[in-house]
Amino acid sequence: MKSSKSSKVNRAWINDHVNDPWVKLATKEGYRARAAYKLKEIDEVFSLVKPGQLVVDLGSTPGAWSQYLRRRLGNANGPAGATSAPNGTIIALDLLPMEPVEGVTFFLGDFREDAVLQQVVQEMAGRKADLVVSDMAPNLSGIDSADQARSVHLGELALEFAVGHLSPGGALLVKVFQGAGLAEFQRAMAGHFTKVYVRKPKSSRDRSRETFLVGKGLRG
């Protein structure tokens, strides 16, 4: 019985995925995942990505956000995303391997480990980041309270990294789940940024509990 239920859920997910307009658009425009449009929508509202920036992409795999950043900093032309040389620097990081994105420097590892963090800092070459984006999410256990706590914790780690490595006036975009701890995390961000916004993009599935916090104007 359990197997039958699981099979039905999997079939429903596959059906939704195949018929998802954002998935179809991502395929058409050469993005690795529909997640690119979440970043795109938020960027268009808050003007986060600008020429010449140093951007750090946390939790980058499979690379859709890095692709979007690369196109924005490289003056993308056309749906295929052909770009000129990037006017800016993109450093991506994840615990899972990521297929290369041209113009993006990727590190495999956990930025909480000194050796990995030092690789990132070395690549920054004495500069502070202008923008940190985090699409990190926990491996879901199915236990809502545990998954929520892990999601907020990942948000806190992204905030900690941003506070330590953003330039004054810089911005942070971070994904967290709606639920316990979100209000406290939002207040924590407000302690470091002059403005904090909450956004759920249209391309985020209705049933998803994910939401995105944007911190602008890191206090010096």
Return the active site residues: 175
Per DSSP, 84 falls in state -
121: exposed, middle or buried (C-beta count within 10 Å: 0-12, 13-18, 19+)? Answer: middle
Other residues' Cβ atoms within 10 Å of the Cβ of residue 136: 22
Distance CA 101, CA 160 (A): 26
Distance CA 170, CA 56 (A): 12
> Which residues is 132 bridged to in the sheet?
56, 172
8 A C-beta contact, residue 186 and residue 198? yes
3-state helix, strand, coil in the chain (%, to 5): 40, 25, 35
Strand residues in the chain grouped as ranges (E): 54-58, 89-94, 104-108, 129-134, 166-177, 193-199, 210-218
Which residue bears the tokens 């961000």? Answer: 189
